[in-house]
Amino acid sequence: MIGVGWFLDRPIHPSGKIILEFITPAPKCLSEAFESAVHRLDRTSVRLCNIGREAVDCVGPDWSSLRWHWNATIETIRVGSREVWYAQFISPAPAAPVRAFWNIEAVGNKAKERRCVALVERIEVIRGPASTLYGADAMGGVINIITRPVSRYWTGSVTVGRSFQEDERFGDDITFDAAVTGPILGDTLGIALRGSIYERMASNPEFVPVIDPSGEEQVRALGFGGGGRTVDNTNYSAGGTLSWMPSVDHRIAFDYDISRQIYDNTPVTDPVTTEVSFPLGTLDSIDTIWQTRGGIVAPRVGYKDEQRYDRTNWSIAHNGEWSFGTSFISLAHVDTVNRGRTRPFSVAERLLLQDIYDGTGDYAGLSEEERRGIAAATFLPRPDRDLRSSQYTLDARVVVPLSGFVGNHEVVVGGQYIDGELFDAVFGLEESSEGIPAVQEQRQWSIFAEDNWSPVDFFTLTAGVRYDEHDVFGGQVSPRVYGVFNVTNTVIVKGGVSTGYKTPKTTDLYDGIRGFGGQGTFPFVGNPLLVPETSTNTEAAVYWDPLPGTGINVTYFHTSFDDKIASASVQPCALTGGERPCANLGDYFAVLDVGILNQPVNIDEAKVEGVEVAGQLRFLRDFNLRANYTYTDSEQLSGPGEGLPLTNTAAHMANATLDWTVTERISAQLNAEHRSRRYRGVDATTGDRLFYESYTVLNLGAQFELNEHIRLAARVNNLLDTDFTSYQTSFIDNGDGTFDPVFIDDYNNKDKARSYWVSLNAQF
């Protein structure tokens, strides 16, 4: 939210890395408004920074190409048009560097981590696949958020912020961040402490009722996440780093961090329908289990009155400087736990409930009231559904500069070992009448090497290779080559070829039921035949910076995917005679009224190509214009979706920010974001392609530095009050004069209505 001038001129790393460095003290915008997470929240063990929209727009033309995309509780971040799966904190003792490989139901979907960014030193952005150094998840790019070393003098920062929604249907956000760092024993021993509280109030958007063909009014009811509906939730986090420097060349650091996020499942009353509902999911009761679908019992269970997501991280690391170069080694561990879920019905429980409901066998002749009482006593309260994960990560690397070997070299050699496990009480339910709770384990090790070779001052060639050994999929080699040619002092040409490699999530590989939707009524199934997704990325770019603060760059990129992982409809294995592809429901097939299910599959080949244009222009001394545009063309080249685009990819994306430095203490920005329509799928009835609507959003912000210690910031989000709650409705004719509505949102993103954000930062 600050104007221009608070970051250094960005150096272009020989590998193509763009580095945005922060000037001490921490930049105003990053210490004022870290409102929401930057990362795709569908994986656990993720160690990421909560960077809000208020912060991103002030960082620069390259960082401004990193854009948020909301999807209820899930956010993604993209470098240009390329989705980033890998973003991490790199601190004196980095904890579990982001690599994560499974989804624990809502754990990954809602767990967020906050860091007081007064401790942030710089941000590194790598555009395009970077799997050589960073591994399987770095197919779309890498965002490294590097935190500061422990300070040699005592300093700290406190920030409070709040949004005020103009539309009372949407909830406010309240944030508090604090950090302090300083020496304990001279330059030898130091400490950094941090903590934050992030409170998000409930949002309950309302939708205009529609009239079906019979003349009946249909009111759209929303569950959690539907149409932008959210519940009251609070996220607490705290941590610290202890840093020891036994000598000037060596530093050992220990980092510990805990976070807890709490979601309120207290029932609410719909102001339109007056119906009582539960924000996350209906609490278990006799009414929720005493239900049928087509004569087959369909008990709905799974939620308590509060959901809690706990995460604990620790790490220990050593950084060393030697006569031959530098070294780094770290061991990190992360634990995640989901509390507040209850276990779905097993096969045996469903069969018993069916007998009780039908009044057969031992229950013949009993009244419904008596049978309901027996069912309640037998099945309630439900046992807890144990959901937890654990992961150890060992990282090591050595950087050795060499000269005199046909130019200069910077050689990086290293390795990584990951050992993780996921426990979910639903694993094994398809194997027996009672279920066999199982642990899904995954182990992977890798080694890599990269050489940044500069045979002459104006040219650098980066060549690297990574070998990954996975306990399920075996070995995979991922090479990379990239060149940077400084044609003149103002013109740089870059380009290269990179490869990417991404393994399926552990839950997706499970041959059976890996979870449930509809509160235990609809199963999610895995696919043991999945293979890793690989990609080859080719890009070429030209950068022209004729004047300080003024420049433009154009990049062409082409990415081809093999065995890209997508979703497809399959039948239960019982109906195909076990012939794959099929969904293994085991004994559940006999007690579930399901036919077609969705299953993760490999779609063989796909491509994404396009052009990115970005630049900035400084004019009239106090104004700076930053903008970027991306054209993307995607296509599935094989499989059931051959010829169709990849879902959720906008053909045209543009962002622009106008910065105005009013005075030395006052600055302002106007930001615009545009997304063209995005492919969403095919209409099951007509076969027509369906698209999410295009949109444009404006945001206006300003900052005021009261003195060297106090800074005030304000922002108007969604300045034009664009409405993202509109939807379309189609109707299914039941043949009896009644119609069932099918509601389709016009927008995939669920931005709130116009709101006002204010924050106050104090540094000492």
Query: What is the per-residue DSSP string for 570-593?
Result: E-BHHHHTTPSS-B--GGGGGT--
Q: What are phi and psi of 707, to 5 degrees?
A: -155, -170
- The answer to whether 126 touches 145, Cβ cutoff 8 Å, is no
Write out residues in the chain with pLDDT < 70, as ranges.
1-120, 122-131, 136-141, 143-145, 221-228, 270-274, 428-438, 517-522, 587, 589-595, 647, 684-685
186 Cβ neighbours under 8 A, 6+ residues apart: none
Q: Order of strands, edge to edge, in the sheet holding 18-21?
A: 18-21, 120-127, 141-147, 86-90
SS3 at position 220? coil
Q: Which residue has the tokens 């016009």?
A: 746
Predicted local distance difference test score (pLDDT) of residue 674:
94
Distance from C-alpha of 664 to C-alpha of 291, rounded to nearest angstrom: 67
How is the chain split into domains, by residue range? 38-343+382-763
Q: Give the C-alpha separation, 468 to 91, whole Å.
A: 25
**Distance between CA 384 and CA 240 in Å, rounded?**
32
**Tens of pLDDT, residues 232-244:** 888 899 999 999 9
CB atoms near residue 336 (< 10 Å): 24
Beta bridge partners of 702: 668, 714
Amino acid at residue number 375 = A
Residue 151 in tokens: 């300070």
Burial label, 736 (beta-carbon count in 10 A; 0-12, 13-18, 19+): exposed
Cα–Cα distance for residue pair 234/308, rounded to 1 Å: 10
- At residue 12, the pLDDT reads 32
Q: How many residues does the chain have?
A: 764
* Residue 679 near residue 663 (C-beta atoms within 8 A): no
Residue 297, burial from CB neighbour count under 10 angstroms (0-12, 13-18, 19+):
buried
Residue 664: HSE in the Cβ half-sphere, 13 Å Cα cutoff = 2
The pLDDT value recorded for residue 521 is 60
Q: What is the pLDDT of residues 400-446, one digit of tens each?
A: 999 988 999 999 999 999 998 888 877 766 665 444 556 778 899 99
Burial class (CB in 10 A: 0-12, 13-18, 19+), 223: middle
Q: What is the structure's pLDDT at 270?
A: 65
Q: Are strands 189-200 and 233-247 parallel, antiparallel or unpaired?
A: antiparallel
Angular region, 311: left φ>0, alpha ψ -120 to 50, beta rest = beta
Q: Which CATH number fits domain 38-343+382-763: 3.40.605.10, 2.20.25.10, 2.40.170.20, 3.30.420.40?
A: 2.40.170.20
Residue 209 CB-half CA count within 13 A: 10
* Amino acid at position 648, single letter: N
CA distances from 298 to 289, 295, 553, 597, 682 (A): 7, 9, 57, 17, 29
Q: In 3D, which of 578, 584, 572 has the Cα closest to residue 509?
A: 584
* Confidence at residue 226, expressed as pLDDT on a 0 to 100 scale: 56
- Alpha-carbon distance 526 to 667, whole Å? 52
